[in-house]
Structure 1
Amino acid sequence: MTMSATSHAGAPQSYSRRGSDSKYDVLIPHQGRIRPRRVRLAPFVDNTRAGSVLAYLGIPFAQAPTGLRRWQVPQGPLPSWSTTRASKWQADPHQDFAAMEGMYRGRKNAKTTIQRSEDCLYLNVWVPESETDDHAKRPVMVWIYGGAFTVGNCSRPLHDGARLAHESGCIIVSLTYRVGAMGFLGARSMAKETAGDWPLVSLESLERKPASGPTIEVGAGNWGLWDLVSGLLWVQRFISAFGGNPNKVTAFGESAGSIAIHYLLLSPLTPEGLFHKAILESGVVATLLPRTTQAAQGAFNKLVRSLCPYHLEGDEAAQLEYLRTRVSADEIASCLRPLVGKRPRSEYTPTLQDMGCLPRAREDAGDEGCGVTDQWGPVWDGVFVDRDFVARALEPLPPRSKLRNGRSGVIVGMCADEGTMFNFLIATGQSLVAHQDLFDPGLSTDLGRLYGFDVRESVSSKRNGREKALLDQRAFYTCATYTGDAQFTAPILDYMAAQSSPKNDSMGRDDSVNVYGYLLAHRPSWDMLEALTTVPEMTEEWAAFHTLDIPFVFGLTGRPDLDGHAYVSDMSEYGVDPHDDDGQDAAPLPSASGRSRLNGMTEKEKHLSLYMMRTWTAVAKFPSEAEASSQQLELPDGSTWTCLGSNAQQAGKEQSGVDQIHLLAIGEEPQAPARAKATDSEDPIRIWQTILSQHAFAQQRAGDHVVASLDDRVRFWMHEPITGTASPRHDERGQSGQLRVCRAMQNYYGFLSTPPRFLPWS
């Protein structure tokens, strides 16, 4: 069965709204009519305009993945309705509510009004209203949320697409996908199955049941990624009903959302033409490598031993059916909750005495027992994530002719302090010692040498109160730095450096995809933190922390007079019915200069946010593949965004290192704990293009006591093995094309002396 998206020449380019109960209702073929909410927006800053957006919320794009559809690719037929559907926030994926909410402020009454359920495959569409209708199809931006593949949803204020739709003139879509065990549990018995009765894996399947034929192989464990495929197929087929251009779709996401897009970008099973550009915010495949089949099977085996009746022993098909139909999602979550977690992230962890209940999962562990951790994410199933996937993810992006998606350009970026939010419990020297007890001893020694802090030696000596406070602060930032390096900074910068290498002669410049880099290095103001987060005192210490880009990209200021609509869960408070609103006098919106002083983004931060929204808009409006190679990507200030590798090609270099990465710098502050150079408070936040070595981020070296350079830290994690485990003089691809042996992969997979490799279901 073909997996490619078909041409849109024969599909309807728009669907008339005439004849419906309201001129704002949209008829979605094969589904029904939906009525939006109108969201009115005040001017964002001076010289911007007020306006309104139509929000079509809670559109189902597949059958509920419950019962026998649990741990299956999304299934058809498309859900339909006979009367006009009202827009509302639908259920979020099943997950722990407290973990889901995190530090950012949530919607009022979200705990009681927005369910967390397996029935979660819904999407939202924001359409900007315009006084003039030029009949031009709008570019489309599809948002994929993060949350470590464990939590996340579309209903949070942080992901409200109204402001971005208004400022960009693009249609904004947000997709829900399954997380945790519901989205990424795999097993041998699942891999043996077909794709279900009506798999939504092609454009054709959205309209009719697939004809009987060869079995569709979809692998096992990557259900959340298949959710994204099905949602993007829905966008391709139906976004024209909302005035969107299906031939100009940009997928953008943060953290796990960014990683997921990178997986879709490189997978051989992703249907062709789902998205044309990609924006990867704080995440690439190497940030979270695919889990081995052994790890996935180990977690599944724990469920079988704990929840399945004894008489089903040995019958894998019956056990799978039992877990699908007789066990609740809450029971599954409770069973798997004891699985240990650690930072930097790891698929396996040494089995200590108190971890005896954990499933044994590795066949080559030798004398050292290993247990599966609570890490969730894509599975190296050999199908969606094929055998050579990881090697491909570490190399320069394939040529345009070999890519199925993202051929018109890819953006890769990160925040300056990616690790600070992940180790807030590591606040003392003693807690850092306990943290490192779960590491390979050789890795702990290596960390002390590179990051200039032997924590065991430091906590063993007596100190007065002030000395202990300084030691604890140093422990916090040391852990933040190496955690951020291992998970984000090193993989992302290493990937940027790979794209910065001169293109293969065999590829040719006309066949290469332009890749652009950025760095967000602004430390948010206290007013912004107090308005948007529940823990401003803590987040202030985090500097330019992971996820900071999201409020800037979505224009979420935290100001009630600007975006107060984004904080309510009751749809009667989220905007108004546009049919009832027509001809009525709306409440006057405050001008940008006439508002009272409230907590939220400062004026400088709002201008930074507007710049980022306009930059993402420039990417979304950039010409499609046929025109992209002959045009340059223009930034809001009129300059041309230099793509990675351009400076190396111009200089005739064979390869550009991390220090030579050319990127768009958004803010100029160094990593925490170093303080930024004091500047005039009236000066705007600086945004400019630079070589990484010339930015304070690279010059800081991760703390006052650390001697390692940024280039050394990237090499430490991505190109060198743990001392004493493998020869440092190995070939990066090893023998017979094997993967490199490096600390990031050893720490994640647990392979200490052999390269990580694909392990088929056994």
Structure 2
Amino acid sequence: MSRFAVSAEHASELEVQLDSGIIRGVAERGIRAWRGIPYAGPAGGENRFRAPTPVVPWQGVRDCTTWGPVATQLHKGQFVGAPPHIPQGEDCLNLNVLAPDEPRDPDVLRPVMVFIHGGGYSVGSSREEPRRGEALVRSGGVVYVSLNYRLGGLGYLDFTRYSTPGRPFDSNLGLRDQVAALRWVHDNIRSFGGDPDAVTLFGESAGGNAVTTLMTVPAATGLFHRAIAQSASANAVYAPDITATWAREFVEILRGLVGDTTTDAATLLATAKPETLALATSHLTLLAPDRAPGTTPLCPVIDGDFLPERPLDAFRDGRAEPIPLIIGTNAREGSLFSGRMDILATTPERIRAIFAKTPPEARLAISAHYPGIPDRPAALDFGGDYSFWYPSVKVAEKHSRHAPVWFYRFDAAPPLVRRLGLDATHGLEMYPLFDGLNGWMGRGMTLLGGRRLFKSIGARMRRWWLTFAETGEPDPEWPRYDEKTRATLIIDKADRVELDPWRARRRAWRAFVPHI
């Protein structure tokens, strides 16, 4: 609850009428917040593995002053998930709204920014950083929305092959959840002072993948009007034959965990405990990078219906939503992916498997840009570029033929992070963007300096992101990206624009993976 006293008059302002009922929020630290608002019905029981259902209306005033449950996930799995004290479960389809706590003209609506969290589609939530989004609301007067969606096997494995008349399974559940949340924003955000016709969708990592994918989902058409994709693994979307293999392997793992070799797959999946499904997901994600190097089993599936085609093909042919896009990556995306997070194409065996599918001359050309490969750190840089940088370049290249695009590369890193050999690694830009330097991670990474640098960069990034949300253009001095100049904003101590940075590397990748 707020540490500030709230007058009776102000308390009434915190009550908002939605189609499903009245909710009450809280005033805190100069903003108004409503948390744990359901945007769809329960996702467990008979609704497990089904498309999201409508919100169940309620009577009276619903308390939305505290966070809702997060998606089922492991705290110590492939990635670090929500700690045990945070409620989680299948009934996780809820979102949060932050708005400025200041008088406004009721006829003037604010731009809306909807953030999709990352975490490899296996962990994460809308409450990863409790204060996330507040800096954007205070700096730019936007209405900020964050959401939870189904993760792991419950949200990102394709079990449609096991559908039966009595137990049907739908595809792309996490993606469908995100569309349901965007539909809720479209229908309800005006009640919070937000403009449903000025919605910017943005996300990082898996959230970036969600952004680029949703730009090609017909059901999402018209639900957002600008997009920002940070470190998007834009090519991590696969055909049904590949996802069916992962589903089969998952069921085999699940049988081993529960000791059941006879129950049919549909019943097994429908009755297993959510925690067991999360554990099976972790086992699968440990095996998949070696069995199918360069891929990830937790991903959207090209089902021919909800997601009709490969997003990169839609971008190429102008079938993606023709809206303004900011897209970019960090300079050394792959350096973070070691130890238990090593899921990229970063081991000698995985790299050799990818090289075996490419022309010999292309292998020599690409190796020249990663001296020492397959040894590290060259292997980490190769894996990061394969998963994040080059697919993002291709999205920018193709989308720029049909709509405005701005491309960036984040190069900044505090001294301690550089000493650790991480440099501008995956996810690092989130700390300045969201002003997240006061938490234990933010304070720890700046122990040897860099705090002032990141504060300054964060202020600039927020200005660009907020201006983009309001106008559809981040800054007049940040030129658009196109295939001729490939103008790229390098975000560092001193920002600069470079034309086609890493030109030779880009050309080597074009020959190495021509299908992208």
- Normalising by structure 1, report the TM-score: 0.59
Distance apart, 1:513 and its partner CA: 2.1
1:97-148 CA-partner distances (Å, limit 9, x unpaired) = 134874xxx9xxx624312322211101111122565652111000011122
CA distance in 1, matches of 2:399, 2:392: 11
Q: How does 1:464-483 map to 2 (within 5 A)?
A: 475-483=375-383
Query: Residue in 1 aligned with 2:3?
Result: none
CA distance in 1, matches of 2:26, 2:8: 19
How far, CA to CA, are the matches of 1:154 and 1:600 in structure 2?
Answer: 29
- What residue is the counterpart of 1:33 in the other structure? 22
Of 10, 13, 16, 1:24 maps to: 13
Change (3 A) 1:713 1:28: farther
Change in Cα spacing, 1:308 to 1:477, as seen in structure 2 (3 Å) is closer
Q: CA deviation at 1:299?
A: 3.4
Query: In structure 2, which of residues 495, 503, 511 is the aligned counterpart of residue 687 of structure 1?
Result: 495
User: Corresponding residue for 2:408?
Assistant: 518
TM-superposition CA deviations, 1:207-255 (whole Å, max 9, x none):
xxxxxxxxxxxx9420000000000111011111111111110001111
Give per-residue Cα distances to partners, 1:51-82, cap 9 Å, x unaligned.
x1112111111112101101111112435353
User: What residue number does 2:91 align with?
Assistant: 119
Structure 1 residues 310 and 690, CA gap change in structure 2 (3 angstroms): closer
CA contact (8 A) 1:347 1:375 kept: no
Match 2:238 to one of 285, 288, 291: 291
* Equivalent position to 2:486, from 639, 648, 661: 661
What letter is aligned with 1:450? I
* 2:414–2:451 Cα contact (<8 Å) kept: no
Preserved CA contact (<8 Å) 1:140 1:246: yes
Whole-angstrom distance in 2 between the partners of 1:426 and 1:166: 34
The code of the aligned residue for 1:339 comes to: L
Query: Residues 191-206 of structure 1: matches in 2 within 5 Å?
Result: none
Q: Which of 379, 383, 386 is matched with 2:308 structurally?
A: 386
Q: Which amino acid aligns with 2:494?
A: R
Q: Are 1:254 and 2:204 counterparts?
A: yes
Residues 160/411 of structure 1: CA separation in 2 closer, same or farther (3 Å cut): same
CA contact (8 A) 1:412 1:516 kept: yes
Inter-partner Cα distance in structure 1 for 2:165 and 2:157: 14
- C-alpha distance in structure 1 between counterparts of 2:99 and 2:159, whole Å: 41
The counterpart of 2:140, out of the listed 164, 168, 171, is 168
Mapped pair 1:557 → 2:437: yes
CA contact (8 A) 2:204 2:232 kept: yes
Report if aligned partners of 1:96, 1:151 keep a CA contact under 8 Å in 2.
Answer: yes
The answer to whether structure 1 residue 154 and structure 2 residue 54 are counterparts is no
Task: Give the CA deviation at 1:96.
Answer: 1.4
**Residue in 2 that maps onto 1:129:** 101
Does the aligned pair in 2 maintain the 1:93–1:117 contact within 8 Å? yes
Confirm or deny that 1:616 pairs with 2:465. yes
Secondary structure at 1:558's aligned position in 2?
A: coil
Gapped regions of structure 2 (runs ≥ 5): 1-6
Contact kept in structure 2, 1:63 and 1:79, CA below 8 Å = no
Offset of 1:689 from its aligned partner? 2.8
Q: Would you say the 8 A contact 2:414–2:448 is kept in 1? A: no
Q: Which position in structure 2 is the counterpart of 1:490?
A: 390
Q: Is the 8 A contact 1:149 1:377 kept in 2?
A: yes
Q: Describe the superposition over 1:620-668 as per-residue Cα deviations: whole angstroms up to 9, x where unpaired.
A: 1016xxxxxxxxx352xxx3432222xxxxxxxxx53xxx31122212x
| Structure with bigger RCO (C-alpha 8 Å, 6+ apart) | 1
| Closer/same/farther in 2, CA of residues 339 and 155 from structure 1, 3 Å limit | same
Give the structure 2 partner of residue 758 of structure 1.
none
- Contact 2:415/2:448, CA 8 A, preserved across alignment: no
The aligned residue for residue 478 of structure 2 is 641
Residues in 1 aligned to 2:162 and 2:490: alpha-carbon distance in whole angstroms: 45
Match of 1:328 among 248, 252, 273: 273
- For the aligned residue pairs, the C-alpha RMSD in angstroms reads 3.7
Deviation at 1:169, TM superposition (A): 0.8
- Matched residue type, 1:602: R
Structure 2 CA distance for partners of 1:518 and 1:194, relative to 1, 3 Å:
farther
1:23 to 1:409, Cα distance in 2 relative to 1, 3 A:
same
Matched-pair contact (CA < 8 Å) for 1:220–1:379? no
Is 1:543 the counterpart of 2:423? The answer is yes
| Structure 2 residue aligned with 1:89 | 67
User: What is the distance in 2 between the residues matched to 1:123 and 1:322?
Assistant: 30
The residue number in structure 2 matching 1:277 is 226
Q: 1:419 to 1:53 in 2, by over 3 A?
A: same
What letter corresponds to residue 298 of structure 2 in structure 1?
W
Instruction: Report if the CA contact (8 A) 2:396-2:481 is conserved.
Output: yes
Q: CA deviation at 1:439?
A: 5.1
Q: Deviation per CA, 1:444-500, whole angstroms, max 9, x where unpaired?
A: 9865763247969xxxxxxxxxxxxxxxxx922111121012111211123333345
| Mapped partners of 2:214, 2:233: distance in 1 | 11
Following the alignment from structure 2 to structure 1, what is the Cα–Cα distance between the partners of residues 197 and 395?
27
> Once the two structures are superposed, what CA deviation does each residue of 1:270-320 show, in whole Å capped at 9, x if it has no partner?
24321011111111532x1x222223323333455526966655xxxxx42
CA distance in 1, matches of 2:102, 2:306: 41
Cα gap change, 1:455/1:169 in structure 2, threshold over 3 Å: closer, same or farther?
closer
8 A Cα contact 1:295 1:347, kept in partner? no
Contact 1:423–1:476 at 8 Å: present in 2 too?
no
Task: Give the Cα separation in 2 of the matches to 1:454 and 1:444.
Answer: 19
- 2:67 matched to 1:145? no
1:182 Cα offset (Å): 0.6
Aligned to 1:409: 324
Deviation at 1:338, TM superposition (A): 3.7
What SS class does the counterpart of residue 497 from structure 1 fall into?
Answer: helix
Alignment match, 1:74 = 52
Cα displacement (A) at 1:347: 7.5
Aligned residue in 2 for 1:362: none
Q: How many angstroms apart in 2 are the aligned matches of 1:381 and 1:610? A: 41
Between the aligned residues of both structures, percent identity stands at: 24
Output the amino acid matched with 1:285: A
Please state how far the C-alpha of 1:336 moved relative to its aligned partner. 4.6
Q: Secondary structure at the match of 1:339?
A: helix
Seen in structure 2, the aligned counterparts of structure 1 residues 267 and 340 have a Cα distance that, compared at 3 Å, is closer
**What CA distance in whole angstroms lies between the structure 2 residues aligned with 1:159 and 1:548?**
17
Q: Is the 8 A contact 1:308 1:322 kept in 2?
A: no
Output one character per residue of 1:19-65: Cα deviation in whole Å (capped at 9) or x when no partner.
9892232223233333333332xxxxxxxxxxx11121111111121
CA distance in 2, matches of 1:158, 1:479: 35
What TM-score, normalized to structure 2?
0.84
Counterparts of 1:65 and 1:549, CA distance in 2: 33
Cα–Cα, structure 1 residues 559 and 374, in superposed 2: closer, same or farther, change >3 Å? closer
Q: How many residues in Structure 1 have an aligned counterpart in Structure 2?
A: 500
